[in-house]
């Protein structure tokens, strides 16, 4: 089914721009904010006749569950007082419900059952699915959006029987994938493609041992996991399972769901703290990015969220936690193979993009997880000065020449910039919850 872009009251954008000029006193910072906020609404949001909302990621005509939530995060700041924005977010939630019921393993969907995307992949593809890379974080973001919208607006009408159906689908999958080796039928491979698009052992993935954590085939970058327990995504699952418990108690009055969510949360959390921490002689105890339960670990961080850098933002631990501080010190150093420095910027990149390229998303996360206003402003200016003279953010850029970048139209990065700028100006999600 096709969609259309509807008029949304945008007075909040111009008012926010005035706040930015007053607080930061930089015209370009405010101009980029205004342009990014309008661009997402103008070019990525489609309202469907059933009052659901489909949000494309930008230069790809498909909706990623994760990206669509991140794209509208800054608009959540205004949902309480703007009915149009509230309806847009509620419509996105409803679309998530429908898509997860089609296939909870899929990470990206078509606007209709049009058969677009990676239909030749060796997995159980459907015409509604653009890509079927199972990424644990995708389902976490759906739960996060349900929770944030409820807490910000006070509206719980979206927490109904359909939500209950979807949350049970998610919990069934997460429990099954706690023992991927024995229980899972999920397989994925892509013919004639690079290794990062494929899972080893004919699509099963590298071998894992039961830990209590739940398995993920792919990272938020859409790259295959080296080891099946992606630690930051499991941390995100712990956080959103707390949300499920709270929703069960306060809205649904469902003690069975509350118990189930808390049990799974405790199992995953125990797995993280038992298997996900490694000792480094230079940095002390720190979190690994991926582990397998057999003692193997991958010590890096990736620019995509959830990441180890984003631990306070996703709600697992605060930024005063010693293990987080040790981890942060590691991943913001050259000991992290994806940390890069150049003439105009320094920060985290990804194997998903060219070697040495830094991500605007990672710069925003670095600032959002810091308590230092000076650091936040420094990163805002760094992002402003590396826009490649486009007034937009990008997936990644060359820190020695920001006019060289990947993805001219990448809405998630634009929204992360907007969220950071509003955070600096004192308008924060955590403060309005």
- The tokens describing 416, both together, are 């992360």
Distance CA 138, CA 222 (A): 11
Q: Are 82 and 98 in contact (CB under 8 A)?
A: no
The whole-number pLDDT of residue 99 equals 98
Distance CA 153, CA 118 (A): 37
Distance CA 405, CA 393 (A): 10
Q: Are 388 and 339 in contact (CB under 8 A)?
A: no
Residue found under tokens 């990424």: 135
Q: What is the DSSP letter of 250?
A: I
Instruction: Categorize the per-residue pLDDT at 6 as very low, low, confident or very high, splitting at 50, 70 and 90.
Output: low
The whole-number pLDDT of residue 3 equals 56
Per-residue pLDDT of 116-152, as tens digits, reads 999 999 999 999 999 999 999 999 999 999 999 999 9
Strand partners, 64: 108
Cis peptide upstream of residue 306 (ω within 30 degrees of 0) = yes
CA distances from 128 to 22, 71, 107 (A): 46, 21, 11
Task: Specify the pTM.
Answer: 0.97
Q: Per-domain residue ranges for the chain?
A: 11-432
The whole-number pLDDT of residue 430 equals 79
Distance CA 348, CA 354 (A): 12
The whole-number pLDDT of residue 432 equals 74
> What mean pLDDT value characterizes the chain?
96
Distance CA 98, CA 83 (A): 23
Compute the average pLDDT of residues 74-90: 96
Compute the average pLDDT of residues 385-401: 98
Compute the average pLDDT of residues 189-212: 95
Compute the average pLDDT of residues 25-31: 97
Distance CA 106, CA 126 (A): 10
DSSP line for 300-369: ---SSSS-STTHHHHTSS-TT-HHHHHHHHHHTSTTSTTEEE-SS-EEE--TTS-TTPBPHHHHHHHHHT
CATH code 1.50.10.10 for 11-432: yes
pLDDT cut 90: percent of the chain above it: 96
Distance CA 36, CA 395 (A): 14
The whole-number pLDDT of residue 1 equals 39
Span between the terminal Cα atoms of the chain, in Å: 35
């Amino acid at each position: 089914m096709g969609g259309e872009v509807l008029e949304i009251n945008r007075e909040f954008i111009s008012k926010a721009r005035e706040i930015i000029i007053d607080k930061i006193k930089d015209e370009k910072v405010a101009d980029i904010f205004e342009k990014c906020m309008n661009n997402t609404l103008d070019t990525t949001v489609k309202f469907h006749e059933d009052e659901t909302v489909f949000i494309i990621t930008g230069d790809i005509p498909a909706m990623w569950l994760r990206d669509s939530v991140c794209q509208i995060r800054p608009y959540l700041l205004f949902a309480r007082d703007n009915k149009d924005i509230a309806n847009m977010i509620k419509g996105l939630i409803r679309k998530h419900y429908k898509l997860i019921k089609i296939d909870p393993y899929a990470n990206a969907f078509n606007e209709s059952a049009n058969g677009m995307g990676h239909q030749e992949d060796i997995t159980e593809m459907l015409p509604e699915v653009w890509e079927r890379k199972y990424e644990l974080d995708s389902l976490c973001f759906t739960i996060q959006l349900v929770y944030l919208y409820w807490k910000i607006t006070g509206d719980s009408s979206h927490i109904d029987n359909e939500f209950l159906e979807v949350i049970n689908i998610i919990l069934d999958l997460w429990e099954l994938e706690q023992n991927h080796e024995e229980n899972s039928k999920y397989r994925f491979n892509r013919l004639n493609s690079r290794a990062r698009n494929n899972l080893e052992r004919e699509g099963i993935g590298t071998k894992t041992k039961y830990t209590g954590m739940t398995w993920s085939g792919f990272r938020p970058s859409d790259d295959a996991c080296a080891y099946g327990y992606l630690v930051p995504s499991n941390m995100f699952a712990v956080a959103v399972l707390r949300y499920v418990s709270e929703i069960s108690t306060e809205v649904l009055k469902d003690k069975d769901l509350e118990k189930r969510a808390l049990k799974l949360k405790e199992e995953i959390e125990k797995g993280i703290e038992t298997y996900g921490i490694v000792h480094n002689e230079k940095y002390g105890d720190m979190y690994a990015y991926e582990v397998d339960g057999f003692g193997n670990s991958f010590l890096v961080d990736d620019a995509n969220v959830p990441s180890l850098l984003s631990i306070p933002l996703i709600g697992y631990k605060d930024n005063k936690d010693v293990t987080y501080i040790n981890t942060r010190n590691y991943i913001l150093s050259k000991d992290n193979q994806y940390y890069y420095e150049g003439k105009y910027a320094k920060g985290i990149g990804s194997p998903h993009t060219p070697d040495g390229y830094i991500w605007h998303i990672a710069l925003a996360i670095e600032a959002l997880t810091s308590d230092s206003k000076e650091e936040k402003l420094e990163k805002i200016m760094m992002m402003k000065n590396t826009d490649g003279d486009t007034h937009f953010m990008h997936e990644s850029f060359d820190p020695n020449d920001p006019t060289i970048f990947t993805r001219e139209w990448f809405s998630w990065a634009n929204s992360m910039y907007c969220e950071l700028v509003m955070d600096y100006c004192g308008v924060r999600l955590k403060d309005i919850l």
